[in-house]
Chain A
Amino acid sequence: MAIHNLLNGQFLNRSSVIGARFMSSWFRNIQPAPKDPILGVTEAFLADQSPNKVNVGVGAYRDDNGKPVVLECVREAERRIAGNQFMEYLPMGGSIHLVEESLKLAYGENSELIKDKRIAAVQALSGTGACRLFAAFQQRFHPNTQIYIPVPTWANHHNIWRDSGVPIKTFRYYHPESKGLDFSGLMDDIMNAPDGSFFLLHACAHNPTGVDPSEEQWREISSQIKAKGHFPLFDMAYQGFASGSPERDAKAIRIFLDDGHLIGLAQSYAKNMGLYGQRVGCLSVLCEDAKQAVAVKSQLQLIARPMYSNPPLHGALVVSTVLGDPELKKLWLQEVKVMADRIIGMRTTLRENLENLGSSLPWQHITNQIGMFCYSGMTPEQVDRLTSEFHIYMTRNGRISMAGLNTGNVGYVANAIYEVTKST
């Protein structure tokens, strides 16, 4: 009876309730967390009332009307899936079909490595989840190692390895003066790292700079990494999205594979299939033989189980349906090329506009860089002016998300950049 009274709120005098009210919150000493620098940009953009506002902050694709896109191949896949699938748990390692298709995409349709079953692979929660699984795996089996990440890199890489308890070191990557690759710095740092270090490499369309090594440079990087016995972990978030060709965008990986490296690879379908919110990806680790691959996969599963038990189903069904059907796959390849081409087109247009405006600064880096992002070289102060005077939103490191540009706003943005960089 007393319990029912309690539930009905009849015990209004709360001090009669033992223990609960006399203490203040256990959590009152928690500090407010800093806002995520990238997502905070979108929040500010949404709050802006100006009709001219432009969001070149978050890296999510937009069409020429500035709208998000759901690919037609994805819509068709979903039509086929709805009503026809159970929603049972996937295995801990995720959808086998999704993993198979992902390996073919990354390692090559006819890869011997796949035939020989040498690749340990599990479905992961997009690129973030794949990196996190690897970081936890690295910590467990090589607890005395560090991860070398490029300067700069996607900010969340720092968080992922830090939360996994793996110390972080950096290697030189971006060359501010040339707005290109600091190749000699990069090679030096690879050489000077202790033998057997773990290196995180962006397979293509480096985030945030858009600066990728050339094929020749990749070969040298591969060679030096091999000489030092380092472990190469590739983060490939833009396969197909960078050049328009998935095969071409996997070149760095294929070079390393040809060189005999036993790579790790984090794949994401967020951008290249527009499946951002579905959280679909794959983590793979190339092993010496099938037996080792079985062992490694089983250990990766042991890391997934206490994190989320098994990965989400829907996105995996979409990807497997698209990649597993030749017609849908063909459609996907066309659609991903359209996205890549639009972005490449915007790069050209932006650069031309700036040059035609008479800017005395060099802007070749806009078209030299590749992928979703352009590292403009603008200072934080210039970025602040872009926002306050022109309602253009981007991260303060000068990173422009090219997907946010379209034929309707590229002239306006070019003019604004010209204005704020005029005095440089």
Chain B
Amino acid sequence: MRPPIILESTTTFSSSSSSSSSSSYSSCDRRLNTLARHLIDVNDQNQMASQNISPSPTASSNSVFAHLTRAPEDPILGVTVAYNKDPSPIKLNLGVGAYRTEEGKPLVLDVVRRVEQQLLNDVSRNKEYIPIVGLADFNKLSAKLIFGADSPAIQENRVTTVQGLSGTGSLRVGGEFLAKHYHQRIIYLPQPTWGNHPKIFTLAGLTVKTYRYYAPATRGLDFEGLLEDLGSAPSGSVVLLHACAHNPTGVDPTLEQWEQIRQLIRSKSLLPFFDSAYQGFASGSLDADAQPIRLFVADGGELLAAQSYAKNMGLYGERVGALSIVSKSADVASLVESQLKLVIRPMYSSPPIHGASIVAAILKDRDLFNDWTIELKAMADRIISMRQQLFDALRARGTPGDWSHIIKQIGMFTFTGLNSEQVSFMTKEYHIYLTSDGRISMAGLSTKTVSHLADAIHAAVTRVA
């Protein structure tokens, strides 16, 4: 292939110039003449030949993106990048929230494998575009899963559900929809929250504010702060709520606290937007983990809910999720659907078929569904067991401090309370990888590795301020 032709800004196109290599030169010349034939009257060609036509300064191979700087690594995904680079034979990745087995391996659920085969063997299946809103049965089944099969909102056709690109994609579509159609552009996020939340909503066109959530002193919920902050939010503001297994803290309100939150939100006409990424994964029970959302739906009010099947069905990379909007009436629900399509179409036209087909097959078959709940509970139980083992190991070492939050918090993550210096120390000395906010993914632990982590925490707490 010929090397790219680089035009100096002083290169002229007249036929008698002596600069530049002749090969690039004559080809430019030829092209201009051809061009001239199409655009310019013959009478003008003589005039043109005598002028020096310089290409604009940008007409070279200078990139229009030369001014870009390299973006920083994503703080969460960057942890795995760093872990992969570490040559140490003893290292632990407690960064990304992806489930690992006792052997430290990723897991594809048995039900998923079975459905994979079923889909493969079904030659009547094709790969046509699915509707913009996704697979119809997937949507209905997802709504039933989160709201309950007997939910009045579903029975009254007040629920609009669209398939989304896992939790992230569902939140983004919901955010863009609100930015377009909702009268209040402010969304309140808990402090702290998943690192990607502020970016999702800001890019969707909303203004991000925060409400107090985590109390470092107790490593539990700052309930008073939460009520105060939501209480002083402007009317109509959107409030993001983690349905269960709060990420990154693992601190959830009790059901009684949820009821108070609900009353406050409804009295202030705030709009709840639930992020449900761990249904079934937190307590081991799908229904128990959905209680906070169902509490809100039961009062007849409106809300949004984003669901993800990344963790609870182990479908991480297939990007399967759903966004549901519960409205006051069936008429409004169908208006909402038509407008959601207009958000989705210019983003990716229609969602991917594979993951949603797997989910729908599992949810609609009673045996597969039951088998799934068993595998789900096994994952949740292993994590709960890791919490207990870590707690016991720290107590056995006499590590200073109260570590009961490890067994009080719920879900994939523990907010250890370690500071960033302690975290760096653990990474450097013990090759343990976690996010700098002290969040560890319990799913990355195993019986074999708990003592290594306990040693590291003990060392960090006793040797680093």
A contact set with B: CB distance below 8 Å? 2-3, 6-7, 9, 14, 17-21, 23-28, 30-33, 36, 39, 58, 60, 68-70, 74, 78-79, 82-83, 86-92, 108, 111-112, 125-126, 128-129, 132, 141-142, 156, 159-160, 162-164, 183-184, 187-188, 191, 195-196, 216, 219-220, 223-224, 226-229, 231, 257-262, 270, 274-279, 285, 287-288, 292, 294-296, 298-299, 301-302, 305-315
Contact = CB atoms under 8 A, between A and B. Distances in A.
Contact of A26 (B168, B183, B343, B351): B183
B71 interface: yes
B67 interface: yes
Contacts of B266: 17-20
Given A87-B316, A228-B59, A92 B74 contact: yes
Contacts of A125: 165, 347-349, 352
A16 B301 CA distance: 13
Interface in B239-258: 255-256, 258
A108 B301 contact: no
Given A259-B4, A305-B199, A306-B168, A82 B348 contact: no
A260 B130 CA distance: 39
Given A307-B169, A312-B165, A292 B66 contact: yes
Contact of B126 (A33, A70, A90): A70
B217 interface: no
A13 B11 CA distance: 83
A82 B317 contact: no
Nearest to B197: A306
A13 B349 CA distance: 43
Interface string B315-351: 1111100000101110010111011011101111111
Interface in B34-82: 34-35, 38-39, 55-71, 74, 77
Contacts of A260: 4-7, 60-61
Given A308-B166, A308-B169, A279 B67 contact: no
B175 to A, nearest CB: 9
Given A68-B128, A128-B348, A259 B65 contact: no
A196 B348 contact: no
11 contacts: A6-B299, A32-B334, A68-B128, A70-B126, A87-B108, A159-B342, A260-B4, A276-B127, A305-B196, A306-B200, A312-B352
Contact of A9 (B35, B152, B202, B236): B152
Contacts of A228: 56, 59
Interface of B: 1-2, 4-7, 28, 31-32, 34-35, 38-39, 55-71, 74, 77, 96, 98, 106, 108, 112-113, 116-117, 120, 125-132, 152, 165-166, 168-169, 172, 176, 181-183, 196, 199-200, 202-203, 236, 255-256, 258-259, 263, 265-269, 271, 291, 294-295, 298-302, 310, 314-319, 325, 327-329, 332, 334-336, 338-339, 341-343, 345-355
Given A92-B77, A277-B128, A277-B350, A312 B1 contact: no
Contacts of B341: 33, 36
Nearest to A17: B299
Contacts of B199: 305-306
A228 B59 CA distance: 6
A411 to B, nearest CB: 26
Contact of B1 (A258, A287, A305): A258
A314 B355 contact: yes
A104 to B, nearest CB: 14
A210 B378 CA distance: 56
B302 A27 contact: yes
A82 B354 CA distance: 12
Given A129-B348, A285-B65, A314-B352, A14 B332 contact: no
A184 B39 contact: yes
Contacts of B112: 87
